[in-house]
Amino acid sequence: MNDYTNTIEVKTTANKAYNALSHQISLWWSEMFEGSSAQTGDIFTIRFGADIYKTMRVKEATPDTKMIWYVEDSLIALPELKNQKEWIGTTIVWEIEQMGENTKIKVSHLGLHPDIECYDICSNGWVQFLGSLKLFLETGKGTPYRE
């Protein structure tokens, strides 16, 4: 399967990129954040209003290089989706690599592939929030979901 993968190059350090994934999710993804995402075993939930949420467990947290989240629960309550729980059981892998003054951030969403119903909506969401992550890391101000 062709799982969703995207790579951005950001004018920042690997440490700052890792910190954005481990401690600052509410500043670039969704302000509706609860729990902790700092270390292996932590559980956090992000919400996009009342009808969309994802609860994830940190499976791996390797400072400045890798972060892996396993989606334990999820609901994407959009009327156009028959299967609103497609994210459950998927895994999000973040790989961080310092390249001179820039840092390469690669996200792979294992289980999010063109055969699943939410692929277009979800891949467009990733593009939007990766843009917010880049903006946050380069300017200090992202564009997270706000209630």
Render pLDDT for 47-105 as a digit per residue (tens, 0 to 9).
999 999 999 999 999 999 999 999 999 999 999 999 999 999 999 999 999 999 999 99
Percent of the chain past pLDDT 70, that is, above it, reads 99
Q: What is the mean pLDDT of residues 17-21?
A: 98
- Dist. CA 140–CA 28, nearest whole Å: 10
CA separation (Å) from 71 to 59, 113, 116, 138? 10, 15, 16, 28
- Mean pLDDT over the full length of the chain: 97
- Output the pLDDT for position 74: 98
pTM, to two decimals? 0.97
pLDDT in tens, 94-135: 999 999 999 999 999 999 999 999 999 999 999 999 999 999
| Spatial contact of 120 and 112, defined as CB atoms under 8 Å apart | no
More confident residue, 1 or 133: 133
Q: Between helices 14-22 and 119-139, what is the axis angle to 10°?
A: 120
- Output the pLDDT for position 85: 97
- Output the pLDDT for position 42: 98
- Output the pLDDT for position 70: 98
